[in-house]
Structure formats: C-alpha cells, structure tokens
Amino acid sequence: MAIYHLEAKVISRGAGRSACAASAYLSCSAIYNDYDGVQHDYTRKKGLVWEQVFLPYSAPSAWQDREILWNAVEENEKTKDSRLAREFVPALPIELTSEQWEELLTDFIQNSFVSDGMCADVAIHDPDPPGHNPHAHILLTVRPLNPDGTWQYKTEKEYLCVRDGEERGFTAAEFKEAQAEGWEKQYQYKVGRKKEYLAPSEAEAKGYERTSKYPKSTKYGRQNPISDRWNSEEQLVLWREAWANAVNRSLERYGFDERVDHWSHAARGLDEQPTVYEGVIARALEEKGVISDRCELNRQIKRDNTLLRELKAQVKKLMQAVKNTIPALAEAMESVRENMIIFKYQLGYILTGKRRLTNNLDVIKPELERYTQIAGRIKEKSKERNTLLSEKKATPMLNILKHRELSRRIAELTEELEELRSEKKQLLAMMDYAEDTGLSTVRKDISAMEANLARLEQQEKKYTTELNAALAEYAELKTQASDFDPDELAMAQLEIRPQKEASAESRVQAAYGDKYDFWTMIGAKREVAELLGEEEPRSIRERLRRKEYEKQRTEKQELPQCKKNKDRGWER
C-alpha cells in the first residue's frame, strides 16, 4: 500500500557529515573528498536500483560527474559548520515498478528542484528483501548559481546605516548609492564609560573617540532571496505537496486507486489519532475531552450490555403474553426478529473492529521486528562512532594517515546511521507513529490491540449465543402458529415489519451514536431475512391473491347447485 513519507534534512559539517560522503553512499560509489583528503568508498553496498545527476542549464557540464560536483560544493564552503547540501528521503509506492519509480522521480526533481536552479543527485534504494522498503535519496545544492555557472552568496554583509535618526540596512553595493543620499555607517565610540554606535559626523562633532574599525551590521547578514525562499517553511510545504501530487499522478496513470496525502492530521484539524493503536495518547486525548477509539470501545461494550438486558427482558415478557391468535403471534415473532436484527448489527460491528485490529496487527508485528533490529543497529553503530571520535581526538595531529583513516571510518558510520535513522522514520510513518515514538510505546500498543481483539472475540461469542437463542424462540413461536394459515400469518407480519425495523434502527442509533453505520444495518436486515428463510413479500401477496381468487371461484361454482336443489324442492 502506498504511504506518504518525505523526510527533509540538511547535510552540514557541524553534524560531522560531508556532501562527498553522502553522494558516495547514495550512489554506492567511491568519491575522494579534496577538502579533508578522505576516500569514501561504498562500492560494496547493495540495494542500488538507479542513480542519476540532474543539472540546471547554468551548471557546468563537468558536474555530471558527481565527484566533481560535490567537491566543488565542498571547496566553496569554508567554515567548519557550513551547510553543504539538502537531502530528501521519500518513500516510493510499492505498487509501481522500478522504471515507473524512475519516471516519477525524474518528473518530481525536474519540476521542483532543477527548474528552480538546483543541482540534484538522486538514487533509488530497494534493500533486501526487495519491495520491503523502497525509497530514494535526493541530494540538492543549497547555493543558487549565477548564469555563468559560479556560485552565488548565501548571505551578504548588511551595514546598519543612519540618517536623521532613522536606521536602515544596506549591502556594500547599495551603500555606494545610499552614501550619496546622506546615509552613514555607524561605528563604536567611547561615550563616558559606555560604548555606543554613532555616525562619524555626529561623533566627531562631539569629540568622541572611536574604539573599533568595524561598522555596525546585522548579526547574520542579508540572506540571498533565493536561498531564503529555499530555506523557508512555506517552501517545504510546497515541496511536500508537489511530491504527493507527483505520486498520485503516477498511481492514477498506471491504474491504481491508492492515493497519498501530504497533510498531517493536525493540519487537517483532526483531534483524534488516525488509528486505534494510540497508546498513552488515547488517555491524554480523553483527559482533554477528545474521544479515542480505544476508550470508545470500552464504552460501546457497556452500552451493548445495557441494550442486551433490555432486549432479553422484552422477549421474556412477550413470550409470556403470547395468545393463539394471528395478530398476537405476528407481534411476538416480529419483536423477536427485531432483536435478531440488533444482534446481527452488533456482530457486524464487532466483525469490522476485529478485521481492522487483525489487519493492523498483521502489518505492525513484522514492522516491529524490523524496527527492533534497526534500533539495535543504530545503538551499536552510534557506540562504535563515539569510540572512533574519542580515538581520533586522542591521536596526535602529526599522525596524518591515522587521522585520515579514522575520519573515513567515522564518515562511513555517519552515513550508515543516517540511512538507518531514515528507515526507522519510514517504518514509524508506515505504522502511523510520530518520529519520537519509542520502542516500548509500540510494544505497549500492540499488547493493547491484542487485548482489544480478545475482548471483541468475547463479545462476538456472547452475541452469537444470544442470536441463536432468539432464533430458537422464533422457531418456537412458528411451531405455535402451525394451526394457522402460514400466508395469513406472514401477511400480518409484513404489515407491522416496517415499524419493527424502524424501531431496531432507532435503538441501535441511540446506543451507537455517531458510530452508527447505515450499511451495517442494511447487511444485518439482509442476513436475518436469509437466516429465517423469508420469502419475498411480493410472492406472499401473490399467493394470497390466488387463494382469494380460488375461494371466490369455488363459491360461484357452488351457488348454482344450491339454487338448483332449492328449485327441485319447490317442484315437489
């Protein structure tokens, strides 16, 4: 089943990652990083289905080689905490083939990223077992490009200038024009025991001494407007929507009914959790006045038990009051039939709940096993990475070869950890859990689901017993009616049946409230009719009309004979 999952993250040196290592990992290739002299080799990694580099028109053609592309990125970023690339990890629909995945990704990347000036390095991974967790890695540049293929700035220094008491920011290029209009940069001057930013003309007129040669500026500078848009929350929402639309177009194109939605439940205004396995969230929602499925199940069982007691008391009273007349028997039989409809509705409702819980358990149990394995591997590799980091810190800087080897192993573990964390998030998305959900929460929810399933099975047994008892009561009433014309009795039942069925519907609606399901009620009526072997009302009416016709015909035939006998008597 297609699910929506699009994980967005930033690759930065501050987090111990490199663009070259990330590209080598996604493409299962070997890339040498000129920045730190580390060779990243992932040629033994399995699961690669397809890889491709997409470039905008202004990018140098040499960047089709991903090693040249990402070394150009690494070279241009100078600081130790630079943001090097943006990465998206989308889940791919298992309904589509690998060729259709390629088509889907090409369409999405060209329209969403390359057309906007980004370079994109993409790969499809379908790790063992195939079809279990197909996903893609999309690595994107974070700096816009000039028409000549050079990098634009991410931020530009912005000087806070003053004129007539007003303060405004200008870049170096803008300040040349602003200076002619009377704007001045501000510098720190010593004013008594304090330091203040003042314009030179004002400070020199008062004889203040300048304490710094650096003009006043904004803390982070002015963001490149293109970079600013790419980094915005609004743009991320647009990208998420574009991916959902691209997936849905592909599913529709190839004849699949499944669709995905990029909106979260909170964004859609849903207070309830989307599935029954809510865990502690269910109780938290209840405390806030929000109904949870799990707590609603308990309340529904109590309402069902109350309704059951009422039905049994009513049937007992009817059975004691039955008289050997067609109207009384018809009333009693239809009342029992009404109860049977309610029992069948309850069984249908329970069956739906069981099916949902069983399906959820069938999905979540194998995923939990996989989740447990991934969590263990993350813990193991995190411990190994921390050990290597400590070893690297303790190694003298003069030992260059060992430093490079440790850096290579740390980078390798870092990329493996990122892949495992992405897979963990995708598994949680498939199970409809939040990203920060712990293993213990998932296990508790599975236990709760299994307990709910057991309770539903107990309810099913109870209502099956009650339905069989009602069926026996109906058979007993039918035996009592053996002396009467069965068609006349059936007709009497048909006359009051709409009223009884409406009564069954209203009683179920009162018990189930907004959980009432119209189609379950239709199914309950149909199943009761089949269980009792009822004929179509049209057949009964037709047979009664035929009987009436035969009766009238017989009377007409007997009438001349009586008259003839009467005439003979007068003759004598």
Please check whether residue 101 is in contact with residue 20, taking contact to mean a CB–CB distance below 8 angstroms: no
569 domain-assigned = no
Lowest mean pLDDT across 55-64, 98-107, 234-243, 542-551: 542-551
Residue 123 falls inside a structural domain: yes
| Mean pLDDT on 40-51 | 92
- 426 and 308 co-located in one domain: yes
Q: Per-residue pLDDT for 538 more than 70?
A: yes
Task: Lowest mean pLDDT of 32-41, 299-308, 447-456, 509-518, name the range.
Answer: 299-308
If asked whether residues 97 and 165 sit together in one domain, one would say: no
Q: Write the pLDDT tens digit of every residue in 58-82.
A: 999 999 999 999 999 999 998 888 8
Largest CA distance in the chain: 161
Cα 52 to Cα 109: distance, rounded to the nearest angstrom = 11
**pLDDT above 70: residue 183:** yes
Total domains present in the chain: 3
Residues 431 and 454 in one domain: yes
Percent of residues in the chain assigned helix, strand, coil, to nearest 5: 60, 15, 25
Give CA separation, 242 vs 44, 239, 313, 429, 484, in Å.
Answer: 34, 5, 60, 19, 72
Same domain, 138 and 168: no
Long-range contacts of 553-557 (CB under 8 A, 24+ apart): none
Kindly indicate the confidence band of residue 545, based on its pLDDT and cuts at 50, 70 and 90: confident
The rounded distance, in Å, linking the Cα atoms of 129 and 114 is 32
d(CA 225, CA 156): 11
Answer left, alpha or beta for residue 149, where phi above 0 means left and psi between -120 and 50 means alpha: left
Go through the chain and tell me how many residues it has.
572
Q: Which of 226, 195, 245 is nearest to 90 (CA)?
A: 245
Residues 521 and 429 in one domain: yes
Omega cis (within 30) before 129: yes
190-199, 429-438, 562-571, range with greatest mean pLDDT? 190-199
Least confident window among 214-228, 273-287, 349-363: 273-287
Confidence of residue 299 (pLDDT cuts 50, 70, 90): low
pLDDT beyond 60 at 293: no
Residues 399 and 483 grouped into a single domain? yes
**What is the pLDDT, as a whole number, of residue 84?**
93
The answer to whether 155 and 221 have CB atoms below 8 angstroms apart is: yes
pTM beyond 0.75, yes or no = no
**Stretch 158-167: mean pLDDT:** 93
Report whether pLDDT(329) > 70.
yes
Token pair 């297609």: residue: 2
Residue (of 131, 48, 122, 52) closest to 88 by Cα position = 122
| Beta-ladder partners of 38 | 33
259 domain residue, yes or no: no
> Has residue 111 been placed in a domain?
yes
Q: Please check the confidence at residue 47 and state whether its pLDDT lies above 70.
A: yes
Residue 281 pLDDT more than 70?
no
CA 37 to chain CA centroid, nearest Å: 43
CA 279 to chain centre: 17
Alpha-carbon distance 54 to 63, whole Å? 9
User: How much is the mean pLDDT over the chain?
Assistant: 83
Same domain, 204 and 175: yes
Per-residue confidence band for 122, with pLDDT thresholds at 50, 70 and 90: very high
Return the minimum-mean-pLDDT range out of 316-330, 414-428, 444-458. Answer: 316-330
The interaxial angle of helices 400-430 and 326-394, nearest 10 deg, is 170
Q: Does residue 274 have a pLDDT over 50? A: no
In the prediction, which pLDDT does 320 show?
52
Contact 251, 95 (CB under 8 A): yes
Q: Which domain holds residue 201?
A: 155-223
Phi, psi angles (nearest 5°) of residue 197: -85, 125
In the sheet that holds 120-125, the strands lie side by side as 6-12, 83-90, 135-141, 120-125, 48-54
Does any domain span residue 192?
yes
Residue 432's pLDDT band (cuts 50, 70, 90): low
On whether both 340 and 458 belong to a single domain, the answer is yes
Sequence-ordered list of residues with C-beta below 8 angstroms from that of 70, at least 6 positions apart, any chain: 19, 20, 22, 23, 31, 85, 121, 139
Residue 343 lies in a domain: yes
DSSP 134-167: -EEEEEEE-S-B-TTSPBPPSEE--EEEEETTEE
Question: Are 443 and 330 contained in the same domain?
Answer: yes
Q: Which residues make Cβ contacts (< 8 Å) with residue 399, sequence separation at least 6?
A: none
- Residue with structure tokens 């912005």? 158
* Confidence (pLDDT) at 557: 67
**Per-residue pLDDT, 316:** 56
Which residues, other chains included, contact 512 with Cβ-Cβ below 8 Å and sequence gap of 6+?
A: 300, 303, 349
Cα 424 to chain centroid, rounded: 15
- Asked if residue 306 has pLDDT above 90, the reply is no
pLDDT band at 130 (very low <50, low <70, confident <90, very high): confident
> What is the per-residue pLDDT for 296?
60
Mean pLDDT is highest, among 260-269, 479-488, 522-531, for: 522-531
Q: How confident is the model at residue 315 (pLDDT cuts 50, 70, 90)?
A: low
Whether 125 is in a domain gets the answer yes
Q: What is the pLDDT of residue 260?
A: 85
Domain shared by 337 and 350, yes or no:
yes
Q: Give pLDDT tens digits for 358-393.
A: 877 777 777 777 878 888 888 898 999 899 888 888
Name residues whose C-beta falls within 8 Å of residue 361's C-beta, 6 or more positions apart in sequence. Answer: 446, 449, 450, 453
Question: What's the confidence (pLDDT) of residue 1?
Answer: 60
Written as six digits, the tokens of 493 are: 């039942």
Categorize the per-residue pLDDT at 571 as very low, low, confident or very high, splitting at 50, 70 and 90. very low
Q: Looking at the structure, do residues 206 and 313 belong to the same domain, yes or no?
A: no
In which residue are the tokens 């969230």 written?
281
Residue 103, domain member (yes or no): yes
> What CATH number should be reported for the domain holding residue 111?
3.30.930.30
Positive or negative torsion for Cα 469, 472, 474, 476: negative
Segment 502-530, tens digit of pLDDT: 998 988 888 888 888 888 899 999 999 88
What pLDDT is attached to residue 549?
67
- Mean pLDDT of the 32-36 span: 91
- Flag the least confident range among 119-123, 179-183, 294-298, 487-491: 294-298
Among the listed residues 350, 254, 353, 315, the one whose alpha carbon sits nearest the alpha carbon of residue 472:
315
139 plus 174 within the same structural domain: no
Could you give the CA distance from residue 18 to residue 35 in angstroms, rounded to a whole number?
A: 9
Query: Using CA atoms, how far apart are residues 353 and 476, in angstroms rounded to an integer?
Result: 33
Residue 141 or 260, more confident: 141
Task: Check: CB of residue 281 under 8 Å from CB of residue 138.
Answer: no
pLDDT on residue 277: 37
Point out the least confidently predicted range of 2-11, 244-253, 364-373, 521-530: 364-373
Q: Where are the alpha helices (DSSP H) in 431-517?
A: 439-480, 486-512
State the Cα–Cα distance between residues 139 and 226, nearest whole angstrom. Answer: 18
Q: Which of 516, 531, 546 is the last residue of a domain?
A: 531
What CATH number does residue 306 fall under?
1.10.287
pLDDT per residue as tens digits for the range 386-431: 998 888 888 888 888 888 888 888 988 888 888 888 888 877 776 6
- At residue 125, the pLDDT reads 93
